[in-house]
Structure 1
Amino acid sequence: MSAAFRPRVVAVAVQKGGTGKTTLATSLAVAATQAGERVTAFDADPQGSLAAWGTLRAEAEPVVDRLRPWEFAQFSAILEQQAEEGRTLAIVDTPGASIGGIAALLRLADLVVIPIRPSRLDLMAALPTIELLVAQGLAERLALVLNQCPPPPSPRTGLYAKQLAGLGMMAEPAILQRVDHQDAIALGRGVTEHAPLGFAAAEIRALWTWIDRRIGPPARG
């Protein structure tokens, strides 16, 4: 790449469906846009849920684009093009069925966000993603997000937070299960657009602020 700043990259990844991965990616993309980033939300999942969300939107930002499997190895060049277009952030919704083919994407991520619901099944399903990152020496780029948590008071949330803290960096805050998330994605919105004064929107803004501070300023290409 040239001396220009390349877009920062946040990948949302976990080898399990139903964890709220796409919902989290879309709302983070919108929240980052509202915070001043020029965001491209890449749908790298063949299921295409994020891309379908994009077709429902009237707003021009964030930009939504597909990233097909044969393009994974070209992601560095794609980021270079993104920099030339003035984009500052890429959020990548990765495939949920298999993580083996996305190593090239994860290596370029400044942070890999792994959403985990507070259950043993979800914890076990997240381990292959965590192990892949550790094997590639990327453990410091890992952030675990407790997602779709039951409303407080819930002893499960605190219990799993303690267990996950030993596996990697815990993002803050935990994201509670709220109907605003489902309503927003069904309408092609981020939760901070759909219900900007709600608790769900406040949690997503706080999570984006945490991620922004964690990944730091853009790096030069």
Structure 2
Amino acid sequence: MRVVTLVTQKGGTGKSTLATSLAVAAGQAGETVVAFDLDPQGTLAAWGNSRQAETPAVVTVPAERTGELGAVLRGVAGRFSLAILDTAGADNPITRAAMELGTLALVPLRPTRPDGLAIKPTVEALIRGGRSFGFVLNQCTPNARSSRAAEMAAGLASLGLLAEPMIHARADYQDAFAAGQGVTEYAPKGQAAAEIRELWAWVNRQAKETGK
């Protein structure tokens, strides 16, 4: 079972929204998916509770079970091909465990200076642990390719892998989340859905390569 961890020590970067839509897109592509909510705020769990479809499975791991995360993942490995871990926007024991256990870590950030500064502790921890990771430039404005986001993309690419494509700020992401859906279900022919399918294809390739 491959494990994709969404992690950055800052709130508001869109980890939960990406986690839900990636989980759905991966399932549509043939993966059997379990999504873990490791954040005390419970955003992903709330999405799971509002969802009508039975997949992906959504599991909450409370803080007191931090030391059991590895055992929990091993316990479901025979039933699922992919686990997606949604972590809190803070440095805590369960976030560190999620980074250590991941096949691939995704580090979402918006194209702003505060987000660029905030990723430093996360990236340092991933490098110290020898973990594979990629940056996801999220919530970009429509003219991102000729703006600040393009400059940040160039800088991130020099630090490590930059996931493709940039994810833009589109209403479909928030509307899908509110409906308990992934964006590829909510508006399958929309631009947001196309972005998430492309992002899943990138994640799938990287996770397969890392898992060899």
Instruction: Mark yes or no: TM-score above 0.5.
Output: yes
Judge conservation of contact 1:73–1:105 (CA < 8 Å) in 2.
no
Structure 2: distance between partners of 1:168 and 1:19? 19
Is the aligned partner of 1:98 residue 2:91?
yes
Give SS of 1:166's match. Answer: helix
Q: CA deviation at 1:118?
A: 0.5
Q: Residue 202 of structure 1 corresponds to which residue in structure 2?
A: 194
Q: How does 1:136-155 map to 2 (within 5 A)?
A: 136-138=129-131, 141-152=132-143, 154-155=146-147
RMSD of aligned alpha carbons: 1.6
Give the superposition deviation at 1:99.
4.3
Matches of 1:65 and 1:154, distance apart in 2: 40
State the SS of the aligned residue for 1:203: helix
How far apart in 1 are the matches of 2:153 and 2:102? 24
Secondary structure of the 2:77 match is helix
Corresponding residue number in structure 2 for 1:213: 205
Which of 137, 140, 158 in structure 2 is aligned with 1:166?
158
8 Å CA contact 2:11–2:88 kept in 1: the answer is: no
> 1:3 maps to which residue?
none
The aligned runs of 1:41-80 (5 Å cut-off) are 41-80=35-74
CA contact (8 A) 2:67 2:94 kept: no
Does the alignment pair 1:108 with 2:101? yes
Counterpart Cα distance in 2 of 1:99 and 1:151: 34
What residue number does 1:19 align with? 13
Mapped to 2, the partners of 1:68 and 1:187 lie a distance apart of 25
What SS does the corresponding residue of 2:106 show, helix, strand or coil? strand
Identity of aligned residues (%): 50
What do the CA deviations read for 1:63-97 (whole angstroms, capped 9, x no partner)? Answer: 0110122323222221221123x211100000113
- Aligned AA for 2:68? Q
Distance 1:218 1:112 in 2: 11
5+ long unaligned stretches in structure 2: none
Query: Following superposition of structure 1 onto structure 2, how do residues 115-130 of structure 1 map, counting pairs within 5 Å?
Result: 115-130=108-123
Q: Is 1:99–1:129's contact at 8 Å kept on the other side of the alignment?
A: no
Tell me how many residue pairs correspond in the alignment.
211
C-alpha contact (below 8 Å) 1:11/1:94 kept by paired residues: yes
